[in-house]
A = this chain, B = another copy of it.
Amino acid sequence: MALIVQKFGGTSVGTVERIEAVAERVVRHRAAGDDVVVVVSAMSGETNRLLGLANAIDPDGSARELDVLVSTGEQVTIALLAMALNKRGCAAQSFTGDQVKILTDDSHSKARILDVEHSLLNQRLGEGVVPIVAGFQGVDENNNITTLGRGGSDTTAVAIAAAIKADECQIYTDVDGVYTTDPRVEPSARKMNTITFEEMLEMASLGAKVLQIRSVEFAGKYNVPLRVLSSFEEGQGTLITYEGLNMEKPLVSGIAFNRDEARLTILGVPDQPNVAASVLAPIGKANIDIDMIIQNAVGDNTADFTFTVHRNDFARAKAILDETCAKLGAKGVQGDDHIAKISVVGVGMKSHAGVAVTMFESLGDEGINIQQISTSEIKISVLVEEKYLELAVRTLHAAFNLDKEPVQ
């Protein structure tokens, strides 16, 4: 007997057959005595079909109208899933974001949820009805339809779970949980039974993209236990928890990596206030996302300044940086678009100094040269030559014994 929010993404509801399979799963949970609210995405391909129509009319179509358009995708799925449940004798009703009253700000296509009205959902749950809610959409205070941006259905599910104080929010995807690292790189990668919110945030932003990062932040903020599971296989998935729940966490939980990075360094920038802003502002202005930032003061009143961008933005970023270099009177620009970023992540490392040493030594033992280092409370990231990526991941996975279940 638990109150559960279950979210199924576009692949999980991509065909009539898969919608029927989702209905079967919901029926099993109901039969086990759980109360269930279901959140669904548009059938896979549907959002792109709708965007295709819009692009044919105006590639720069108004964001308000795009939201009216694409929000129909989820509306189709909620109706079909409700029918599939009703057919099985399971009382269910569909609700749009407007009908639930998922209030957002007015940033069309990337709106943020401000409030979820729980009264209608609680009423239906009390009547034994399974509410089927359209993910990804809401309304602003003027009743305009808004969308949360791609992947926003995860956030919808978490926000609903927070509003109705659900015992758990289950995100069904095409993977069966969160792994210590990518199993395609390290076959002995192990599915984690639990991971902390902080670790999940670092893992997600570093490339292990299982959950939309905003939904994880949201879940952390409202203390919603979040579980990632497979829609296609049985299993317990991975539960995302609070640090406090696991008193003895392993030093390192997982190895994240990103092979799409490029590194840029501007050398000998005269050291003055706002130097970082002078270097980075023109890059941001060009809508280039910056990932890792490292600044070294080198002792002669100048600084070396390194950052990474997506590989696709490398050429543009380099051209901008060359201009900046001339303007600031810096010594030069170096760049490398064949690098990879590898990070060890773990809340346990907060209180243990040895992790960095183990990391650097084991990479050094394999002859892998570390180009840059950046650290936060619960992760250490390094840049290495791209060709070393797989070797580095496997080396670190073994060095921290991640193939073995941690001793709790």
Contact = CB atoms under 8 A, between A and B. Distances in A.
Interface in A130-172: 143-145
Contact of A53 (B64, B80, B143, B144): B80
Interface in A76-96: 76, 78-80, 82-84, 86-87, 93-94, 96
A1 interface: no
A87 B60 CA distance: 9
B68 A94 contact: yes
Interface string A49-78: 010011011100110111011011001101
Given A72-B75, A76-B72, A93-B64, A19 B57 contact: yes
A79 B83 contact: no
A79 B144 CA distance: 12
A68 B61 contact: no
Contacts of A99: 143-145
**Copy number of this protein in the oligomer?**
2
A57 B93 contact: no
Given A64-B93, A65-B94, A99-B143, A58 B76 contact: no
Contacts of A24: none
A68 B57 contact: no
B64 A68 contact: no
A16 to B, nearest CB: 4
A98 interface: yes
Given A58-B87, A87-B58, A99-B143, A65 B82 contact: yes
Contacts of A96: 68, 145
A87 B57 contact: yes
Contacts of A69: 75-76, 79-80
Interface in A89-119: 93-94, 96, 98-99
The 4 closest A-B pairs by CB, nearest first: A69-B79, A72-B72, A61-B83, A68-B79
Interface of A: 16, 19-20, 50, 53-54, 56-58, 61-62, 64-66, 68-69, 71-72, 75-76, 78-80, 82-84, 86-87, 93-94, 96, 98-99, 143-145
25 contacts: A16-B53, A16-B56, A16-B57, A19-B57, A20-B57, A50-B76, A53-B80, A54-B79, A54-B80, A57-B80, A57-B83, A61-B87, A62-B83, A64-B94, A65-B86, A66-B79, A68-B78, A68-B79, A68-B94, A69-B76, A69-B79, A69-B80, A71-B75, A98-B98, A99-B145
